């Protein structure tokens, strides 16, 4: 029976693992931490900013050491479970650096701050996650017994699961990539994993089966994803940014799974992140939207704002380095040769990091893109959902 349960968990693990898989190596974590820290100084009571910064310190804690890459094999061939994402520092004698210890403690402190400020439940998930990740390094973090960290993590996961389960089961699909997606699945799976793999916490078979059924139900509640787009044609209206009845396969969620989405018009350009100038856009993690950098930044404008070093509301000059435009001219969901161009080579002078309107419940900036000739293009944080 247990084997069947864990096979079921493996089949659900792509969505459940997405929030915590290793981010791309080119995520500008130090820059993001600096800029979001400045925002928190100006708004110390802002729960979302505290949550974002907690997540960023958690990312730096993970990136500072070797992490086994998360590989998705694809539907029908099985998915790796949570245990496929490992920190191979559990070996004896391997110590955390002073920076890693500081990043860990800062992440925990900021999660606590976000929770006190009534942040979204993802703050509680992150708080539990950091306790679980601390177990292999217990002696270096001021606790001699690793089981204490795991017991606390399991209790936090279980409490969070029970807190959000009923609401999520009754509600509609939520936003992917901003933390409110599958909180019950995330918390329930980690609680089960600790119980199964460590034996420091026990759970009943009835409890286990209930969590598995909840995860199966929540898997069908896929919510919307948001990337920022604009048009190469200055006369394009917002409705013309999209291509009616188009269907394209792309990993827009950024979790390694290709799904079918409606799509943009041939003249529409995605804002994307490609600092290595590979010319390849392969997932929503590279687009400026709900899944950017795995940093839980919210929508695409907030993702852009995280790169606004001087906090003037615009990305310009050196701040544009690494930003590209992807124009999928043939509408095949593949960044073909010649479709990805550094944003400055498209004649863009600066990019607005805020929005000033809403169209069909999607935020837009009427002066979102300023061109070198002084003209403006409207940018849109396009919201879409997977199609059947």
Contacts (Cβ under 8 Å, ≥6 apart) of 52: 36, 295, 296, 297, 298, 306
The pTM of the full predicted model, rounded to 2 decimals, is 0.63
CA distances, 171 to each of 166, 202, 387 (Å): 9, 30, 19
Query: What residue has token string 């900036």?
Result: 365
Q: Is the pLDDT of residue 113 over 80?
A: yes
Identify the band that residue 211 occupies on the pLDDT scale cut at 50, 70 and 90: very high
User: Which pLDDT score, from 0 to 100, does residue 91 have?
Assistant: 36
Share of the chain above pLDDT 70, in %: 79
User: Which pLDDT score, from 0 to 100, does residue 306 have?
Assistant: 84
Per-residue pLDDT tens over the stretch 137-167: 888 887 768 899 999 999 999 999 999 999 8
Please state which of the ranges 65-74, 316-325, 342-351 shows the lowest mean pLDDT.
Answer: 65-74
User: Which pLDDT score, from 0 to 100, does residue 378 have?
Assistant: 97
Q: Tally helices (H) and strands (E) across the chain.
A: 9, 11
Mean pLDDT of the chain: 81
Q: Is the pLDDT of residue 74 over 80?
A: no
d(C-alpha 243, C-alpha 236), whole Å:
12
- Work out the average pLDDT over 97-117: 94
User: Which pLDDT score, from 0 to 100, does residue 76 have?
Assistant: 26
Q: CB–CB of 281/24 below 8 Å?
A: no
d(C-alpha 216, C-alpha 208), whole Å:
13
User: Which pLDDT score, from 0 to 100, does residue 377 have?
Assistant: 96
Q: CB–CB of 150/135 below 8 Å?
A: yes
- Work out the average pLDDT over 22-38: 74
Q: Is the pLDDT of residue 101 over 80?
A: yes
Looking at per-residue pLDDT, the higher value among 185 and 22 belongs to 185
Per-residue pLDDT tens over the stretch 220-259: 666 677 899 999 899 999 999 999 889 999 988 777 788 8
Looking at per-residue pLDDT, the higher value among 17 and 94 belongs to 94
Q: Is the pLDDT of residue 328 over 60?
A: yes
User: Which pLDDT score, from 0 to 100, does residue 120 have?
Assistant: 86
Please state which of the ranges 105-114, 168-177, 267-276 shows the lowest mean pLDDT.
Answer: 168-177
């Amino acid at each position: 029976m247990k084997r069947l349960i864990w096979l079921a968990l493996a089949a659900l693990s792509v969505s459940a693992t997405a929030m915590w898989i290793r981010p791309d190596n080119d995520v500008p974590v130090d820059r993001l931490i600096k800029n979001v820290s400045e925002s928190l100084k100006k708004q110390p009571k802002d729960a979302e900013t505290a949550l974002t910064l907690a997540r960023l310190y958690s990312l730096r804690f993970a990136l500072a050491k070797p992490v086994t890459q998360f590989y998705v094999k694809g539907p029908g061939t099985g998915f790796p479970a949570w245990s496929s994402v490992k920190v191979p520092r559990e070996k004896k004698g391997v110590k955390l650096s002073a920076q890693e210890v500081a990043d860990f403690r800062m992440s925990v402190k900021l999660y606590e701050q976000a929770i006190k400020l009534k942040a979204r439940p993802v703050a509680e998930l992150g708080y539990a996650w950091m306790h679980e990740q601390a177990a292999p390094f217990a002696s270096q973090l001021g606790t001699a017994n690793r089981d204490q960290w795991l017991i606390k993590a399991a209790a936090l996961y279980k409490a969070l699961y029970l807190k959000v389960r009923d609401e999520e089961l009754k509600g509609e699909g939520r936003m992917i990539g901003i933390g409110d997606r599958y909180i019950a699945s995330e918390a329930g799976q980690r609680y089960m994993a600790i119980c199964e793999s460590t034996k420091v916490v026990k759970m009943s078979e009835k409890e286990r089966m209930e969590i598995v059924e909840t995860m199966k139900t929540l898997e069908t509640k896929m919510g919307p994803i948001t990337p920022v787009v604009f048009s190469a044609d200055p006369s394009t209206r917002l409705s013309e940014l999209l291509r009616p009845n188009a269907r394209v396969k792309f990993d827009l969620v950024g979790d390694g799974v290709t799904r079918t989405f409606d799509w943009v018009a041939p003249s529409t350009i995605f804002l994307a992140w490609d600092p290595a100038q590979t010319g390849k856009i392969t997932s929503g993690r590279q687009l400026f939207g709900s899944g950017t950098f795995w940093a839980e930044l919210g929508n695409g404008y907030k993702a852009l704002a995280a790169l606004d070093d001087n906090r003037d509301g615009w990305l310009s000059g050196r701040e544009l380095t690494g930003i590209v435009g992807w124009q999928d001219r043939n509408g095949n969901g593949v960044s073909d040769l010649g479709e990805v161009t550094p944003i400055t080579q498209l004649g863009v002078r600066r990019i607005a990091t805020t929005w000033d309107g809403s169209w069909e419940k999607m935020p837009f900036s009427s002066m979102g893109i300023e061109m070198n000739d002084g003209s403006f293009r409207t940018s849109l944080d396009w919201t879409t959902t997977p199609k059947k």
